[in-house]
Chains A and B, each alone.
Chain A
Amino acid sequence: MLELRKDIFADERDDNLKEIGKGTQRQDMLGHITGTSSYFNDHKLQGMLHLKVLRSTHAHAKLRRIDTTDAERSAGVRRIIRGADVPRNLNTLLSLINFGKDDEPSLAVDKVRYKGEPILAIVADSEREAFEAIAKVRVDYEPLPTVFDVEDALKLGAPVVNETYPKNAFIYHDVYDHQRLRFGDADAALATADHVLEQRYQMSPIEHAPTETNGAIAAPDTNGRYVVYTSTQALFFSVDTCAKILDVPSNTFHFIGGTVGGGFGGKVDTLTEPLAILGAMLTGRPVRYVFGREEEMQYGPPRGAERIYIKDGVMRDGRIVARKIRAYFDSGAYTRLSSYAAVKCAAHLPGPYTIPNVYGDVYCVFTNRTPATAMRGFGVTAMDFAIECQMDKLANLVGMDPMEFRILNAYRDGDMKAHRREAKNTALIECVQVAAEKAKWPIRDEFKRASSRKDGGGSRAVIPATPTDSRGRPAAPAQQRTTYDRAPVTATREPPREPPPSTPPPPPPRPAAPSHGATRFSSVFGTRRR
Chain B
Amino acid sequence: MAVTVKTFASVGEAAGALSSDRSARYLGGGTLVMRALNEGDVSISTIVRAQDQALTRIDASGPRITLGAGVTFARVLAERDLAFLHTPAQSIGGPAVRNMGTVGGNLFAPNPYGDFTVALLALDATVAVQGGFGTRDIALEEFLQSRERQSGALVLSVSCTRPASAEAFRYRKIARIKPKGGSVITLAAHLPISGGRIAGARIALGSMAPTQIRARAAERALEGRSLDTATIAAAASAAVEGTSPSDNALGSAWYRREIVGVHLRRLLSGQE
Q: Give bound CA distance, A132 to B38, whole Å.
A: 13
On whether the beta carbons of B40 and A75 are closer than 8 Å, the reply is no
> Is B40 within 8 A of A52, CB to CB?
yes
Residues A127 and B2 in contact, CB atoms below 8 Å apart: no
Asked if B164 is at the interface of the complex by the 8 Å CB criterion, the answer is no
Q: Residues of A contacting B2 with CB < 8 Å?
A: 126, 128
Min distance, Cβ A27 to any Cβ of chain B, angstroms = 29
Bound form: Cα–Cα A78–B38 in Å: 21
Chain A 118-156 per-residue mask, 1 if CB under 8 angstroms from chain B, else 0: 000000001111011011000000000000000000000
**Is A292 in contact with B38, judged by CB distance below 8 angstroms?**
yes
**CA of A129 to CA of B40, assembled, Å:** 9
| Contact across chains for B1 and A132 when beta carbons are under 8 A apart | yes
Q: Is B83 an interface residue (CB 8 A)?
A: no
Residue contact B1 to A134, C-beta cutoff 8 Å: no
Q: Is the CB of A292 within 8 A of B39?
A: yes
Q: How far is the CB of A343 from chain B (nearest CB, A)?
A: 31
A293 an interface residue at 8 Å Cβ cutoff? yes
Beta-carbon contacts of A57-84 to B below 8 Å, as 1s and 0s? Answer: 0000000000000000001000000000
B268 CB to closest chain A CB (Å) equals: 33
Please determine whether A128 and B38 come into contact, CB atoms closer than 8 angstroms: no
Any A CB within 8 A of the CB of B3:
yes
Q: Is A3 part of the contact surface with B, judged by Cβ < 8 Å?
A: no
Tell me whether A292 and B40 are in contact (CB under 8 A).
yes
Query: Does B230 have its Cβ within 8 Å of any Cβ on chain A?
Result: no
Min CB distance A138 to B, Å, is 15
Q: How far is the CA of A131 from the CA of B38 in the complex (A)?
A: 10
Question: Would B39 and A134 count as touching, CB distance under 8 A?
Answer: no
A294 at the B interface (CB under 8 A): yes
What does the 1/0 interface line of B13-43 toward A look like (CB < 8 Å)?
0000000000000000000000000111010
Does B1 contact A75, Cβ atoms closer than 8 Å? yes
For the A-B complex, the count of residue pairs with Cβ-Cβ distances under 8 Å equals 22
Nearest-CB residue, chain B, relative to A134: B40
Which of B2, B38, B40 neighbours the largest number of chain A CB atoms within 10 Å of its CB?
A: B40
In whole angstroms, how far apart are the Cα atoms of A138 and B233 in the complex?
53
B214 to chain A, nearest CB (A): 31
Q: Range of interface residues on chain B?
A: under 10
Instruction: Report how far A108 CA is from B40 CA in the complex, Å.
Output: 21
Considering only CB atoms, which chain A residue lies closest to B3 in the complex?
A128
* Chain A residues, Cβ within 8 Å of B1: 75, 128-129, 132
Q: Tell me which residues across on chain A come within 8 A of B38, comparing CB atoms.
A: 292-293
CB contacts under 8 Å to B, within A457-472, are none
B255 to A: closest C-beta gap in Å? 14
Query: A128 to B42, Cβ gap below 8 A?
Result: yes
CB-CB under 8 A from A75, the residues of chain B are: 1
Chain A neighbourhood of B3, CB < 8 A: 128
CB neighbours of A52 from chain B (8 A) = 40
A173 to chain B, nearest CB (A): 38
Would you give the shortest CB distance from B43 to chain A, in whole angstroms?
9
Query: Is B42 in contact with A132, judged by CB distance below 8 angstroms?
Result: yes
A218 to chain B: closest CB distance in Å?
A: 21
CA distance A438 to B40 in the complex (A): 52
CB closest residue in chain B, given A133? B42
Interface centre among A126, A128, A132, A294 (most CB of B within 10 A): A128
Which residues does chain B contribute within 8 Å of A128, judged by CB atoms? 1-3, 40, 42
Question: Contact between B39 and A294 (Cβ–Cβ < 8 Å)?
Answer: yes
* Closest A residue by C-beta to B37: A128
- Fill in one digit per residue for A239-269: 1 if any B CB lies within 8 Å of its CB, else 0: 0000000000000000000000000000000
CA distance A127 to B39 in the complex (A): 10
CB distance from B113 to the nearest CB of A (A): 15
Residue in A closest to B2 when the chains form the complex, CB atoms: A128
Task: Tell me the nearest residue of chain A to B249, going by C-beta.
Answer: A297
- For B43, the closest partner residue in chain A by CB is A135
Min Cβ gap A391→B in Å is: 28
Smallest CB gap from A297: residue in B: B249
Kindly list chain B residues whose C-beta atoms are within 8 Å of the C-beta of A127: 40
Measured CB to CB, the closest approach of chain A to B23, in angstroms, equals 12
**Which residues of chain B come closer than 8 Å to A131, judged between CB atoms?**
40, 42
Closest Cβ–Cβ distance, residue A342 to chain B (whole Å)? 27
Chain B residue numbers with a CB within 8 Å of A129 are 1
- Set of chain A residues within 8 Å of B39, measured between Cβ atoms: 292-294
A148 to B15 CA separation, bound complex (whole angstroms) = 48
Smallest Cβ distance from A290 to chain B, in angstroms?
A: 11
Q: Nearest chain A CB to B147's CB is how many angstroms away?
A: 22
For A134, what are the chain B residues with a Cβ–Cβ distance below 8 Å?
Answer: 40
CA of A135 to CA of B41, assembled, Å: 9
Residues of A within 8 A of B40 (CB): 52, 127-128, 131, 134, 292
Interface residues of A in 287-345 (CB under 8 A from B): 292-294
Using Cβ atoms and an 8 Å threshold, which residues of chain B touch A292? 38-40
Tell me how far the C-beta of A57 lies from the nearest C-beta in chain B, rounded to whole angstroms.
Answer: 14
Residues of A within 8 A of B42 (CB): 128, 131-132, 135
Cα A135 to Cα B3 with chains together (Å): 16
CA distance A134 to B40 in the complex (A): 10
**C-alpha spacing A438/B134, complex, angstroms:** 70
Known: A128-B2, A131-B40. 11 other contacts (CB 8 A): A52-B40, A127-B40, A128-B1, A128-B3, A129-B1, A131-B42, A132-B1, A135-B42, A292-B40, A293-B38, A294-B39
**Complex A-B, nearest 4 residue pairs according to Cβ-Cβ distance, in ascending order:** A131-B40, A132-B42, A292-B39, A135-B42
Measuring CB to CB, which residues of chain A are less than 8 angstroms from any residue of chain B? 52, 75, 126-129, 131-132, 134-135, 292-294
Q: List 22 A-B contacts (CB under 8 A).
A: A52-B40, A75-B1, A126-B2, A127-B40, A128-B1, A128-B2, A128-B3, A128-B40, A128-B42, A129-B1, A131-B40, A131-B42, A132-B1, A132-B42, A134-B40, A135-B42, A292-B38, A292-B39, A292-B40, A293-B38, A293-B39, A294-B39
